[in-house]
Structure 1
């Protein structure tokens, strides 16, 4: 089956004219005539009656026109969809992040600039977020302290600093603007699980400085750390970009070495040129 012949027939059926069909297809009128004639001869069928005034469909032509109209109508719908995606009028972006605080401003910019784009957001820890990106379950990811590797494109996003989280009535909360890491020696603390990037950064800084806090609780979420600190079970540690506005809590920046984290926006190198990914990366950089 020759699709060029079918498209020529479909154009004539829609326009009722070989001349207008040629204009529709941006080819010459003899080319349209030749395609339709070849179709009729190949299948030994009469599809069109040519009169002095117009072109009319035969019964077989009417039946075929119903089929070709559906065929090429779907092709036109596909073209409209693809063009809309190319112009970022529509589309879907799969995003992963190791926390909501850094990704939400980017998504807000994306929504404002490209309101037709829908987003599916996965939130998880640093390992899960990187695994989702490398496994091609998402298009882009917001990552923390990720090592460069082959096939992975990383764009710097921002830096954050570790802060201590205190209940509002704590003596340090009312007397200091910042706190040296050394002050946490033998302090009772409630911290994230050891696989958390925040926890790993804190543990490494303490080890280098020779500081040994007393870890009372290890918790699986930032929200749990907030609640434990509010209940005065111990001192917490949080990233400066993840501070929440909770009247029960006060955050003080920690001073010392090794307390800064680098955050990135990443995608697979081979998918870096896709328009949706380019748009996300560009907005993350503004």
Structure 2
């Protein structure tokens, strides 16, 4: 006996809603039917998929990977149905996109929206490591994240590789040169850093450990606006990917050198999802915009950040 589509739909709906009644309403079936479908699925798996507490349930420890595979399977089936009943590809559908640095992915996102206006896009900002987890769990179709190297669990395509920059209040003495050193100039300063789910923070921390330097982090942040405001106010110097922040009337920005750190900005998705129509189209637009297939797109005013390596 094998798993049925109805069982997978019941399990996936229950994993999101946390209640049998809510899952039944979403699927348009009775609550006892949802319960029996979930029970049958668990019997086939010979393990508990959910932990029950009163009228609510949550996914059992260790079962999240299986739920993610169910979501991928259901999305593949949805793609089949879309191909069967749509007159042409990309006439309708949804795409969940995460990003850790909105300024770096916005050109590709804008081009995608203009080219495929019928696709409904849900966006989610957040630190890179958190977004990687959301992609692995099937909560996001793809994400643009920053990390030193590709993640072997995912299909990854590097769209940019940029230096790490340090920024702070206008006129700050450490930011008046062409570059800033980790040991001599950055180590003595108070710092405003991303939380430890950030790829940029992880790269900087690793460089500090290798150099035998202890960074003086006085404030951890989770959003770019708070990081910018804190650095501009003089609470501490901030770090970012080149292009993520720009010098203006409030801040100065210089690259970090000695060591000169670079970090990749990757588009990532589950290997099973790389050929989904909308995902494939987004990757294609990103390749064209960032010059991954023959150089920058002529006349679009873009900069090839790879020249900064």
User: TM-score, normalising length from structure 2?
Assistant: 0.61
- Distance of 1:274 and 1:218 partners within structure 2: 37
Partner residue in 2 for 1:211: 213
Q: Secondary structure, in 3 states, of the residue corresponding to 1:285?
A: helix
Q: What displacement does 1:279 show?
A: 0.6
> 1:278 and 2:280 equivalent?
yes
Q: Which runs of 5 or more structure 1 residues have no equivalent in the other structure?
A: 1-77
Partner residue in 1 for 2:128: 126
User: Are the aligned partners of 1:201 and 1:258 in contact in 2 as well (CA < 8 Å)?
Assistant: no
Runs of 4+ in 1 over 3 A off after TM superposition: 78-81
Moved more, 240-249 or 270-279: 240-249
Q: Which runs of 5 or more structure 2 residues have no equivalent in the other structure?
A: 1-81, 289-309
Query: Counterparts of 1:182-201 in structure 2 under 5 Å?
Result: 182=183, 183-201=185-203
Distance 1:166 1:92, change over 3 A: same
Q: What displacement does 1:244 show?
A: 4.4
Distance 1:133 1:188, change over 3 A: same
Partner residue in 2 for 1:241: 243
Moved more, 255-264 or 158-167: 255-264
Query: Counterparts of 1:12-23 in structure 2 under 5 Å?
Result: none
- Distance of 1:272 and 1:199 partners within structure 2: 28
1:131-156: per-residue Cα shift (whole Å, max 9, x none)?
21111122211122264334x21111
User: TM-score, normalising length from structure 1?
Assistant: 0.65
1:243-286: per-residue Cα shift (whole Å, max 9, x none)?
14642111101112362111211122122222211111101111
Distance 1:110 1:81, change over 3 A: farther
User: Are the aligned partners of 1:204 and 1:258 in contact in 2 as well (CA < 8 Å)?
Assistant: no
CA RMSD of aligned residues (A): 2.2
Q: Secondary structure, in 3 states, of the residue corresponding to 2:160?
A: strand
User: Are the aligned partners of 1:184 and 1:211 in contact in 2 as well (CA < 8 Å)?
Assistant: no
Partner residue in 2 for 1:108: 110
- Distance of 2:83 and 2:268 partners within structure 1: 30
User: Are the aligned partners of 2:247 and 2:253 in contact in 1 as well (CA < 8 Å)?
Assistant: no
User: Are the aligned partners of 1:198 and 1:237 in contact in 2 as well (CA < 8 Å)?
Assistant: yes
Q: What displacement does 1:158 show?
A: 0.8
1:94-147: per-residue Cα shift (whole Å, max 9, x none)?
112223122211111112222222211111112221121111122211122264
Distance 1:270 1:80, change over 3 A: closer
Q: What displacement does 1:186 show?
A: 1.8
Matched residues, number: 205
- Distance of 1:147 and 1:281 partners within structure 2: 16
Q: Secondary structure, in 3 states, of the residue corresponding to 2:278?
A: helix
